[in-house]
Structure 1
Amino acid sequence: MPATPLPAFDDNYIWCLNEEDQGQWLVVDPGQAEPVLAYRQDRPPLAILLTHHHGDHVGGVKQLLQHWPQVPVYGPDDPRMPAGTRPLTDGQRLTIGPWQVQVLAVPGHTASHLAYLVADHLFCGDTLFSLGCGRMFEGTPAQMLASLDRLAALPAHTLVCCGHEYTLANAAFALAVEPHNAALQHRLKEAQAMRISHRPSLPSTIGSELDCNPFLRTHVATVATAVAATTDSCDDRVAVFAALRRWKDGFTA
């Protein structure tokens, strides 16, 4: 059941999940229609899943529905979603063809952001990135940290299928936080090799992110100590996370 990341825009990925024996598939976050149509036109996807309302994640829906008008579109219960989106709620489970889809509310990047757990694949949009996390456009640090904690609690083998190719840029910041993290150094070399050979650095795994991603490591002494040097207040994990996110927002390699 391979998941295929289709490049879109400068650094987005549209994810397609395939069931090879039956030829069934679904699409996650089609910010553009053209990569999806170029990938497969022989039969329509069983569904389109949307994590949040930003245009680089939903912009291709209208054109795809012109090509495949009967395909259901699922996403957050938010008026900013494309017309006709079937709203989902936290904890809901869908059966889509051969797949069981678990819906997870992960607010922070946006107020209504969702993630989807499908078998071993986590489609997390812009909440969790490899070696990073999304900016908080609408949520609070406490909300974002709680969302990341929720994803971090998934099994270590869970594949992290996020919305952008940010791994190398995130690695530069992560090394500024934990320069002696051996797992992070290994992940950087791995991602560099992938990108040099024009391959995606994704998916990652939850286990790898727990070892390397500073935003999932706010409880670790090396991260907290590094963050404390940038702020006057690091009294708890929320404060550590908030300061870490501010540091990242202003970081230049």
Structure 2
Amino acid sequence: MTSELIIIVVAFLIAGWVQGIFGFGFAIATTLLLVNTVDFTTLVFLNLCMSVVTSLIAMLSGKNLKTINKNTLLKLIISSSAGLILGMAIITYVDAAILKKITLVVILLASIASLTKSQALFAHPYMGWIGGFFSGVLTPSTGINGPLVALHLNAAFTDKQEIRNTMLAYLFFIMTFGVISMSIKANLSSETTNMLVKVILPSILGYVIGMFSFRLLSDVIFKRTVNAFLICSSFASLVYLII
């Protein structure tokens, strides 16, 4: 095993761990760790596939399914579907790099604001529609679809199971769309398929470790950790894009 492959495997292990704890963040982790190591198109496809796999694992649990907020999930699916249609229509007319920077700034400021009395704003039912819609719009061009929804769920609910599992169910829907879309449109190489095989096990292992880590967190600590992750990851991503 080469040193480069070891780095990739460890990065996907860490990303799986992050996804296992928060219910999102797989793509954020791998992008920060591997953007200079793996071809970006390949990395996006691997992220989509592993997000689907880890989300599917969560959906196979009857206990997890019971804690999903069905009304919120339906709202997110409907609004993000409308957003995906618009996102696909404008993808050739927008500068993805600039849009990504703007999105990261919004996420950073919103994450900080959610720590204050403004939390009630993010908890409002209408924010589910808004977050889901823009999550769908941004998916084709930037791949940023988790944080906006996570902000709403983290503010709206107090039960960590409800937050995490509703997030995973939503990601299963939108990431599956991404996998199908890229499989049809992108000219994926055989190297991408080979790499996919190599990162499946570390991703799943990381996810399982993340699940056990998740169980150690209280509801309050979980919510605070989600906010901290959103702030730190959006800031780090923004700094990297600017530099």
Task: Give the TM bin, normalised by the shorter chain.
Answer: under 0.3
Bigger Rg, which one:
1
**TM-score, length-scaled by structure 1:** 0.25
Pick the structure with more helix per residue: 2
**TM-score, length-scaled by structure 2:** 0.26
Pick the structure with more strand per residue: 1
- Between 1 and 2, higher relative CO (CA 8 Å, sep ≥ 6) is seen in 2
